[in-house]
Amino acid sequence: MRKLLKSLFGRATSKQTLEILPQSVKLELSPGQTLLEAALTNGVPYPHNCTVGTCGCCKTRLKQGRVTAVSDFGYVLSKQELDAGYILACQAVAQDELTVVEIADPAANLLSLKKTAGKIASTDLLTHDIMKVVIELADPLEYLAGQYATLRTADIPAGRHYSFADAPLRGGRSSVSFFIRKVPGGAFTEELFSGALLGKPLTVEAPFGGFYLRPGNAPMICVAGGSGLAPLISLLEDARKHRIRRRCVLLFGARTQEDLYLLEQISELRQAWPDLFEFVPVLSDAALDSDWTGARGMVTDYIDSSLDAGGWSTAEAYMCGPPGMIDAGITRLVSLGMPIDAIFYDKFTSTAGMGVAA
């Protein structure tokens, strides 16, 4: 009888411990508690935002133990990430007595979240469906190049998430800009593109996200699609400002020539870059009889030619854009020999997660 009771209830009553690396923090888990909930309840800084398994901010490598997924990790993480042992901490419940996880370099979490009032000061159409939006802030915001903010209005208290398009400034920026794509029927972007939000109050909360330039001098392969150019421009302009010497290839995917934008700024960036910088715009829907003489097809098709064979194991990739582009890019990069933990991305979706929202 004792053996039967132990088999039925012993596991539920046994103490479960979570160890978080590289901080070497150990926490006791409550029954049914997710790994993220345990960390935040105990005051441990942990990358996160949505907490419902859509943004990918809490992507974590499982080093020891087994977990149960509240919702399928595969909706956000690629097959390659799953194979490498990555999980979403906000959706993971421990099964074993000891669970050991490793989070990314916590540098992006050294900046505290801050809310401030703001208003849209100006807008500028970059393409037919991408707008540059400049917001004046009541108090300056600090962030790392590549991170994003949540914008809230009285009508949309849940907020929408957009990447900063400016390089950060020491002490914070009092004026920030975003490249926002129009989502047909989107509650926020329909009003924005109609001009109804110009001058109206909103709340800006930042910084969020683990997309930022890692230290080192490894060659960089940057891949952007649509409004995904925003965080890469922020990241690259910040790197240029700090005279970071790294070879860089920027691949920019668009549909037609009319969907290309910021070409003059990219040209100036390339000229001022302290190392080799190559820019390759790729059009997926350029008419065959158009005057376009550049690259055609899917932007991820041009990853192969970015580096010489043999250089992939020591390079890094930074990608921002729609889920299909990100997933195709990860598959291609891994097949070429790039380690999965050298691939960093911001997957733009139309849900309440990272990147563009309606």
- Tens digit of each residue's pLDDT (9 = 90 or more) over 146-179: 999 999 999 888 889 999 999 999 999 999 999 9
Confidence of residue 355 (pLDDT cuts 50, 70, 90): very low
pLDDT of residue 157: 87
Token pair for residue 271?
Answer: 């000229």
Q: Is the pLDDT of residue 95 over 90?
A: yes
Of the candidate ranges 83-87, 96-100, 246-250, 346-350, the one whose mean pLDDT is the lowest: 346-350
pLDDT of residue 353: 37
Please list the residues that pair with 204 across neighbouring strands.
116, 151
d(C-alpha 231, C-alpha 213), whole Å: 11
* Comparison of pLDDT for 355 and 86, the residue scoring more: 86
Which SS3 state, helix, strand or coil, does residue 58 take?
Answer: coil
Q: Mean pLDDT, the chain, as a whole number? A: 90
Domains and CATH numbers, the chain: 2-104 (3.10.20.30), 109-208 (2.40.30.10), 220-347 (3.40.50.80)
Q: What mean pLDDT is predicted for residues 102-116?
A: 74
The pTM is what?
Answer: 0.85
pLDDT of residue 237: 98
Closest CA to 235 of 254, 248, 226: 248
Confidence of residue 337 (pLDDT cuts 50, 70, 90): very high
E-only strand ranges, the chain:
16-21, 25-29, 59-64, 67-69, 86-88, 92-94, 98-102, 114-125, 130-141, 148-152, 160-163, 173-181, 201-208, 220-225, 248-254, 277-283, 295-296, 316-321, 343-347
Q: Is the pLDDT of residue 9 over 80?
A: no
Q: Is the pLDDT of residue 26 over 60?
A: yes
Given a contact cutoff of 8 angstroms between Cβ atoms, the answer to whether 91 and 67 are in contact is no
Q: What mean pLDDT is predicted for residues 45-70?
A: 87
pLDDT of residue 273: 97
Q: What are phi and psi of 99, to 5 degrees?
A: -120, 125
Confidence of residue 109 (pLDDT cuts 50, 70, 90): low
Q: Is the pLDDT of residue 8 over 70?
A: no
The per-residue pLDDT for range 310-325, each reduced to its tens digit, is 799 999 999 999 999 9
* Other beta carbons within 10 Å of 304: 13
Q: What are phi and psi of 270, to 5 degrees?
A: -60, -45
Confidence of residue 13 (pLDDT cuts 50, 70, 90): low
Q: How far is CA 346 from CA 218, 242, 353, in A?
A: 20, 23, 10
pLDDT of residue 352: 36
Question: 160-163 and 220-225 as β-strands: parallel, antiparallel, unpaired?
Answer: unpaired
The per-residue pLDDT for range 191-204, each reduced to its tens digit, is 999 999 999 999 99
Q: What percent of the chain has pLDDT over 90?
A: 76
Closest CA to 125 of 258, 13, 30, 243: 258
pLDDT of residue 106: 56
pLDDT of residue 356: 40
The helix (run of H) or strand (run of E) holding residue 1 is none
Given a contact cutoff of 8 angstroms between Cβ atoms, the answer to whether 166 and 132 are in contact is no
Q: Is the pLDDT of residue 260 over 60?
A: yes
Given a contact cutoff of 8 angstroms between Cβ atoms, the answer to whether 254 and 280 are in contact is no
pLDDT of residue 357: 43
Q: What mean pLDDT is predicted for residues 8-21?
A: 72
